[in-house]
Structure 1
Amino acid sequence: MSEQQHEESIKKISGMYEDWFLDYASYVILERAIPSIFDGLKPVQRRIMHSMRELEDGRYNKVANIVGNTMKYHPHGDMAITDAMVQIGQKELLIDTQGNWGNILTGDGAAAARYIEARLTPFALEVVFNPKTTEWLPSYDGRNKEPDNLPVKFPLLLTQGVEGIAVGLSTKILPHNFNEVIDASINYLRGKKFVLYPDFLTGGYIDVSDYNDGQRGGKVRVRAKIQQEDKLTLKITEIPFGTTTGSLIDSILKANDKGKIKIKKIEDNTSEFVEILVHLSPGISPDKMIDALYAFTDCEISISPNACVINVNRPEFLNVSEILRRNTENTVELLKRELEIELNELQEQWHFSSLERIFIENRIYHDIEEEETWEGVIQAIDKGLKPFTGHLLREVTEEDIVRLTEIRIKRISKFDLDKAQQFLESLEEKIEKVKFHLANLIDYAVDYFKNLKTKYGKGRERKTEIRVFDNIDATKVAVANVRFYVDKSEGFIGTSLRKDEFLFECSDIDDIIVFRNDGVMMVSKVDAKTFVGKGIIHIAVWQKNDKRTIYNLIYRDGKNGPSYMKRFAVTGITRDKEYDLTNGTKGSELLYFSANPNGEAEVVQILLKPNQRLKKLKLDINFSELAVKGRASKGNLVTKYPVKKVELKEEGVSTLAPRKIWFDDTVKRLNADGRGELLGAFKGTDKILTINDKGDAKLTSFDLSNRYDDELLTIEKWRPEKPISCIYYDAEKERYFVKRFLLEDTLNPQTFYFSEHPNSFVEMVTTQKIPVVDLIFSKVKGVEREMETVNLEEFITVKGIKAQGNQLTTYKIKQINLHPAPEEPEEEELPKIEPDELDGATGEQASLFDFPRKQAENGEENQEEKE
């Protein structure tokens, strides 16, 4: 070989790697990780199902035997096949399992393949297989045939869901509800709109606001179902999809170790159903802890779907609706092919039965008695049939004639013409029925789906409840897990300054606001040690968008300038940026400062330095007479004369309007954003009244972190002077009773209804001032008593909460209707300042004092968003 020929035979290694990698990537995508759009199965799943159908005899098979048989088709290890089979079995749709198949709730694995058994479910046998409509391919070693796609007549991909990681792409299709998928298919076939949302065997709650039909870029939020057992115990009864009780408990313990939450202990009582008890430390709010669990643990997780499928050897990204449409169309096509095959078989059966009848009835078999050759026999039969074959569906073939020669003498001798005619007529009826189904294929498909729902839909109701989640502010529910200190002499703050002055406990994710005596303010994240400058006069935890905390201050403009006063809120900042609250003149200084969490406005006394032009050296200033403006405003002039001292003269009261509170029934939470039903305007001591169907009344604060259950009969602002009216049925006495009572001002639950009889119940609870009801009576011996109207205020006086009450009537009641409440006048609200639109406010009020002053300049707030 010449040197030139030798050089040409050399191939670069980089080129080999490129080819090999592309081959490997294609193999992983097409043959391992991504499901087919047609049957919704990965290759290993398809081979397992085909292998189970091969072994199917109605009895359970050892999984080890099924796995061994599957290895004829799947060129991988037995463990990979076993794991894939267990995953299918745990979805409780295609495989009927026996033995320990693991637990999706606890994450426990299945027993070894030699100990567990399986067989196909009736659903799988009906829906997944049909050799007549299956296209076959040779197996990897050429010894067997395997299906290219199983003829699945159902949107299996959406019902089971799938997850897989290939080379360069992945797929994640969430499972959907069996019955809802069938309903969606029926709606699509009927030309109606449909929508599908995920449903998980683990239950829980799901927020599908951003689901985006399962496409890339969408997401769902999934939450555990948490109930409050008592003041010190929470119970988790359902967990998010993708977690286990073990992983959930680990995340809770991890959050506790980091100090994000504070729990006493956690107890796992899970067996058939999930039961995790979270025991709280004394003094911890259960409502706040539920929010904290959602914020800092796996009690809430976010899942990003990514619907990638294989469509004719190519990966394709679709949405859930498109997958359902294609699966439904594929089902219709498979049903059509089955009908066409059935029609052809029936017609062939009719053809040969007719031919057999002609052959026997006309004794054509006698025509072959003289023939000595096979060709002569065939020709004789063919000649004898010709006069009678005009009505057949097709021409008579040699194969038909051969089959006639194979009819036994016994069958010919016992041939019954009437039975043969009846059989032909029954075939004709079946043929007409199949033709009718083909002509009305969509109706046939709809009936097919309805039949599936009837046969297999029971017990497959939705398990995951769809809700809209409220957004939890982590800083508001984080437990105070660090101690915060200040070194005023050096101007440092932080959690590591243990030798210096202790301020308060806070969370390590909080923001801290600092004010200095030179009029500078800044906000910084909690850290071990942060320099904020000397002259610190106020440090506190800062909440973004806090419009209720109002800061009052008086500052001197420059070393010898006039003094100004201002009120402002701090709702948005840039962290670690210094904000000058004065007019910016060098030498400016704060003469007075106060932080007021509920907008309090105090009265202060200003002592002026002696001056021969001044007769009055003491001035009283009431901050309530000053408007709340932006923090960058210059403020109002107090005096142009030097100030000796400013003293607090009178504690302040809130100048903010009562806070309007709404109840959002969707998320069962309070809010101040106008979502849901307006409960009223609340001041600091006002309370929320809730009444449930168990006969419990409870007063709570109007804290926005409060959580309310689904069994509420009433939720409203509590007015102590308004009695509560209740009508209840006492099953033991078989009578309705009515009672009216007032609640005590306590946060403990107050029970107003006691009955151990299982058939007793609360019929109606109302807080109307003058409740009026209509009593509709049942017929007695065919006689109907006239309706009676009862004014409950006149019927019974207000008594104690534990009183039995008065019997409403002796007659048998059919229905009780409460009259609508008359409109009550709204509460009068004082025209106080509500700092909802403070930032950006400019301008100033007239001076409060009758002595010369310089006109204040307008300032303008420059609000910046927190980073």
Structure 2
Amino acid sequence: MDEHEEGLGEAQQHPEEQPQDSLVKVTGMYKDWFLDYASYVILERAVPSVEDGFKPVQRRIMHSLKELDDGRYNKVANVVGHTMQYHPHGDASIADAMVQIGQKDLLIDTQGNWGNILTGDRAAASRYIEARLSKFALEVVFSPKVTDWQLSYDGRKKEPIHLPVKFPLLLAQGAEGIAVGLSTKIMPHNFIELIDASIKCLKGQKFVIYPDFPTSGIIDVSNYNDGMRGGKVRVRALIEQLDKNKLVIKEIPYNTDTGSLIESILKANEKGKLKVKKIEDNTAASVEIIVHLPNGISPDKTIDALYAFTSCESSISPLGCIIEDNKPEFIGVSEMLRRSTDNTLALLKAELEIQLKELEEQWHFSSLERIFIENRIYRDIEEEETWEGVISAIDKGLKPHIGHLKRAVTEEDIVRLTEIRIKRISKFDLDKAQQHLESLEERIAEVKHHLAHLVEFAIDYFKNLKAKYGKGRERKSEIRIFDNIDTTKVVMRNTKLYVNRAEGFVGTSLKKDEYVADCSDIDDIIVFTEDGKMMVTKVDSKTFIGKNIIHVAVFKKKDARTIYNMVYKDGKGGATYIKRFNVTSVTRDKMYDLTTGKAQSKVLYFTANPNGEAEIITVMLRQVGSVKKLKWDLDFADLLIKGRGAKGNIVTKYAVKRIELKEKGVSTLKPRKIWFDEVVRRLNVDGRGELLGEFRGEDRLLIITQKGVVKTEVPDMALHFDADMLVLEKWNPKKPISVIYYEGAKERYYIKRFLIENPQREESFITDHAKTFLELVSTDWRPVAEISFVKPRGKEAKPNQEIDMEQFISIKGIKALGNQLTADKVKNIDFKDSLPYEEPQPEAVEEIEVVDEQKVGGNDDNKPEPPTEDDGQATLFD
């Protein structure tokens, strides 16, 4: 019993002597017991060692597997029981740790149901599954002659302090553990890339390594921070579009399984963040989750919503904590690899030195044996009667012949000579003995050469590992830079917004009042009132803005395409002003005045125009005094678009009777320039990537894929583009598409030219035969192809042939087979420079440009957003 326990015991034995409210100090317990416990958890359970990459339980499992290794499978229950000789814990913790090693498919050759990291299914009971060491583990992990040993916890057995691992195993497998006061999370990395990085490290070259996850997926490592604290890896599922109503998830993020992923999608669906019809899970050896969408739901926006609101995207924060010299240390993965490489170099050197010593000992004794038998020294001991005399006689007989030996002859050497059998002496072959000595000398020279060129030897060692075990271990996770998804643009708007204009309330609970639009609970709404006030506020059940609301809409941040046309009276009896403005950024719940701020200002006319439409209005004045012109037209297209704080242009100083809409307007904004960023595979209006062109509201994108599918899309920043995309450009409906493809059923190359007849439909322009494939596609006006032919046996090769595709075939329907290109066997087909063609120029359209108020004293951020197809909403006030 320790002091603390004794103190408690005395208190229990003599309760009458203890004050009722006495305090018992536990400082000593926290200082000693808790510190011991924390040290134990950190060093002996949760954090791996940098020397071999193992936690203690993993190291003991590997040691037990080696002791049991006979080339056959062992029941996992048997291995667990054997490991308990070294590991002072229950069988469950050992079995779980062993399953985790087995699922990483590197060190253990498994048999039976070891669970599934994709579905989250657990392994079968340890009595049903079997394991043995993999060939890789046998070669890389064990080397008893260079292993340091210690006694097991009960002193009955010896176990390794560290296993002599000659590979960056910690980085290959990864590690995760929660200790007391610290934790570790080291990401798994790619087998081949680790070997390549180790070789670069040995050569003194720079290297960079990034995670690679067994569940595959897409990863963004731009903030990896070398795997240290503060870093972050974003991981996404691989989602593709099967058709307009189906998505397929083919790969999932690390630390996620299909069950939890599907559950997160269903929860997002219940909360109205996205909308799905049903989900099919066809996962077996690989992931296949089919997500069925209702009619009318955008697949591209649903993909973004899956990333934004479900487990299809996750963020992992690495933390590189390891144990070295019995102390925890925080280092990056690059430093881990350097230390592993240095450790491998030291282990290879130690093994070579041991091998050299053993070879020299073999050479020494083989030389002694030859001298002993060839010179018949064994006869000198026939007359000796004592052991000392025998030793002395052999030593005397050897002395004239041992000048070339590399060390002195010891008594142990002489004792070994006496143990040679008569049969061996009688069958001794001098030539074979000489050949054996020469082979030993060659091996000794080889080992010395390796020691003299240790770095080159280590490089060859790593190259050999890569050649033997690298097949099938290529990178699984695709590295890509992610775009940031704006949740307000992809959230499903499943709530209805209402307004009570007279009383000045907006909200989702006003179901008896006027319906405005569909919205979501994360949306902002913009509201304008008759007295010239404006506010942006969060969607709520009921919010008071101000009486006499004239316009309500869902607010799009940074939307410079929506233009507000307004005419207002500047205070009581003041002049009337006209203005055009946009609202790109505001402070939420702040009331803005769009007039000059005078009392009794009033909005006389207001429209919201999603694509910058400019209408013509008629202004009518009251009959007062000598005013002669009582009616005239104003065109909003004559006004510059400015910020919300602009005063505007004066219309009249006289009283306005009313304002009427005379003619609806068309967009006056310049067409948007749209770029395609190949890195994130998304469209943008910020100038990143390749310029696709200038787009108006009716313009579309042309997309052609390697599968022979063509479609057109309205440019939308939410669009996703598959990796097999061949053509992405602004669509010209008059320009033909020229195609050369191999038709599988007829086993011939065909050529066709067509126009897209239905831009709303996605269509295949090649046949669906299994052997059919697309060879070339061009969107030039007059493309030219060159064919080279296979040389027939015994004949001259047919000369290359140029094909003017415009002359070869006329424009036909998209489903037409086309014309056969040639009956000869084709070696290669390539496009040459297209023939010149002058495209007709469209008629010029007068345009105006949005004024950036940041440059003229405002606070707006006028980055253009994609136009919508909604009509402007006009409001008229008498």
Q: How would you bin the TM-score normalised by the shorter chain?
A: over 0.9
Structure 1 residues 261-340: aligned runs within 5 Å: 261-340=274-353
Calculate the TM-score normalised by the size of structure 2.
0.92
**Structure 1 residues 392 and 505, CA, compared in 2 at 3 Å: closer, same or farther?**
same
Mapped partners of 1:108, 1:812: distance in 2: 52
Q: Which amino acid aligns with 1:802?
A: K
Q: Note if contact 2:217-2:478 (Cα within 8 Å) is conserved in structure 1.
A: yes
1:421 to 434, 459, 466: 434
1:362, CA displacement in angstroms? 2.3
What SS is found at the alignment partner of 2:596? coil
Q: Which amino acid aligns with 1:774?
A: E
Q: Figure out how many residues of one structure are paired with residues of the other and give that number.
A: 841
1:503, CA displacement in angstroms? 2.0
What SS is found at the alignment partner of 1:502? strand
Q: Show CA shifts across 1:764-803 (max 9, x none).
A: 2212112222333443444244433332222322223333
Q: Which residue of 2 aligns with 1:832?
A: 847
2:781 to 769, 782, 794: 769
Q: Which residue of 1 aligns with 2:656?
A: 643
Q: Which amino acid aligns with 1:655?
A: T
Q: Note if contact 1:629-1:841 (Cα within 8 Å) is conserved in structure 2.
A: no
Q: Which amino acid aligns with 2:728?
A: I
Q: Which residue of 2 aligns with 1:862?
A: 859
Q: Show CA shifts across 1:809-829 (max 9, x none).
A: 455443333233458678776
Is 1:696 the counterpart of 2:696 in the alignment? no
What SS is found at the alignment partner of 1:776? strand
Mapped partners of 1:227, 1:257: distance in 2: 23
Q: Note if contact 2:668-2:846 (Cα within 8 Å) is conserved in structure 1.
A: no
1:410 to 404, 423, 434: 423
What SS is found at the alignment partner of 1:461? coil
What SS is found at the alignment partner of 1:840? helix
Structure 1 residues 172-251: aligned runs within 5 Å: 172-251=185-264
Q: Show CA shifts across 1:36-83 (max 9, x none).
A: 111111111001000111111111111111111111111111111110
1:735, CA displacement in angstroms? 4.0
Is 1:666 the counterpart of 2:679 in the alignment? yes
1:459, CA displacement in angstroms? 1.3
**Structure 1 residues 787 and 57, CA, compared in 2 at 3 Å: closer, same or farther?**
closer
Q: Which amino acid aligns with 2:218?
A: Y
What SS is found at the alignment partner of 1:263? coil
1:398 to 401, 404, 411: 411
What SS is found at the alignment partner of 2:254? coil
Q: Which residue of 1 aligns with 2:791?
A: 779
Mapped partners of 1:77, 1:320: distance in 2: 32
Mapped partners of 1:199, 1:501: distance in 2: 54
1:525 to 538, 548, 558: 538
What SS is found at the alignment partner of 1:79? helix
Mapped partners of 2:243, 2:771: distance in 1: 26
1:733, CA displacement in angstroms? 4.5
Mapped partners of 1:761, 1:363: distance in 2: 82
Q: Which residue of 2 aligns with 1:598?
A: 611
Q: Note if contact 1:657-1:830 (Cα within 8 Å) is conserved in structure 2.
A: no
**Structure 1 residues 823 and 704, CA, compared in 2 at 3 Å: closer, same or farther?**
farther
Q: Show CA shifts across 1:263-286 (max 9, x none).
A: 111121222221211111121111
Q: Note if contact 2:175-2:185 (Cα within 8 Å) is conserved in structure 1.
A: yes
Mapped partners of 1:795, 1:64: distance in 2: 73
Q: Note if contact 1:573-1:865 (Cα within 8 Å) is conserved in structure 2.
A: no
What SS is found at the alignment partner of 1:462? coil
1:675, CA displacement in angstroms? 2.2
Q: Which residue of 1 aligns with 2:868?
A: none
**Structure 1 residues 679 and 862, CA, compared in 2 at 3 Å: closer, same or farther?**
closer
Q: Which residue of 1 aligns with 2:20?
A: none
Q: Show CA shifts across 1:814-846 (max 9, x none).
A: 3333233458678776452332x523354xxxx
Q: Note if contact 1:568-1:838 (Cα within 8 Å) is conserved in structure 2.
A: no
Q: Note if contact 1:730-1:737 (Cα within 8 Å) is conserved in structure 2.
A: yes
Structure 1 residues 704-743: aligned runs within 5 Å: 704-730=717-743, 732-743=745-756
1:164, CA displacement in angstroms? 0.8
Q: Note if contact 1:736-1:807 (Cα within 8 Å) is conserved in structure 2.
A: yes
Structure 1 residues 806-817: aligned runs within 5 Å: 806-817=819-830
Q: Show CA shifts across 1:347-400 (max 9, x none).
A: 011111111222222232333334443333333322222222221111112222
**Structure 1 residues 622 and 100, CA, compared in 2 at 3 Å: closer, same or farther?**
same
Q: Which residue of 2 aligns with 1:107?
A: 120
Mapped partners of 1:817, 1:457: distance in 2: 36
1:12, CA displacement in angstroms? 5.2
Mapped partners of 1:25, 1:598: distance in 2: 64
What SS is found at the alignment partner of 2:786? strand
Q: Which residue of 1 aligns with 2:456?
A: 443
Instruction: Name which of structure 1's ranges 45-54 and 686-695 shifts more when overlaid on structure 2.
Output: 686-695
Mapped partners of 2:286, 2:733: distance in 1: 43
Structure 1 gap ranges (5+): 1-5, 843-859
RMSD: 2.3
Is 1:547 the counterpart of 2:547 in the alignment? no
What SS is found at the alignment partner of 1:493? strand
Structure 1 residues 446-485: aligned runs within 5 Å: 446-485=459-498
Q: Which residue of 2 aligns with 1:847?
A: none
Calculate the TM-score normalised by the size of structure 1.
0.93
What SS is found at the alignment partner of 1:21? helix
Mapped partners of 2:723, 2:638: distance in 1: 46
What SS is found at the alignment partner of 1:862? coil
Q: Note if contact 2:220-2:481 (Cα within 8 Å) is conserved in structure 1.
A: yes
Structure 2 gap ranges (5+): 1-5, 12-23, 864-878
Q: Which amino acid aligns with 2:682?
A: R
Mapped partners of 1:172, 1:615: distance in 2: 83
Q: Which amino acid aligns with 2:85?
A: K
What SS is found at the alignment partner of 1:149? coil
1:260, CA displacement in angstroms? 0.4
Instruction: Name which of structure 1's ranges 699-708 and 295-304 shifts more when overlaid on structure 2.
Output: 699-708
Mapped partners of 1:557, 1:165: distance in 2: 67
Mapped partners of 1:730, 1:377: distance in 2: 92
Is 1:364 the counterpart of 2:364 in the alignment? no
Mapped partners of 2:674, 2:772: distance in 1: 35
What SS is found at the alignment partner of 1:590? strand
Q: Note if contact 1:214-1:305 (Cα within 8 Å) is conserved in structure 2.
A: yes
In percent, how many aligned pairs have the same letter?
66
**Structure 1 residues 648 and 287, CA, compared in 2 at 3 Å: closer, same or farther?**
same
Instruction: Name which of structure 1's ranges 244-253 and 440-449 shifts more when overlaid on structure 2.
Output: 440-449
Q: Show CA shifts across 1:375-431 (max 9, x none).
A: 333333222222222211111122222222222333333322222222111111111
Is 1:501 the counterpart of 2:514 in the alignment? yes
Mapped partners of 2:430, 2:828: distance in 1: 70
Mapped partners of 1:786, 1:365: distance in 2: 86
Q: Which residue of 2 aligns with 1:149?
A: 162
**Structure 1 residues 274 and 811, CA, compared in 2 at 3 Å: closer, same or farther?**
closer
Mapped partners of 2:142, 2:748: distance in 1: 61
Instruction: Name which of structure 1's ranges 584-593 and 373-382 shifts more when overlaid on structure 2.
Output: 373-382
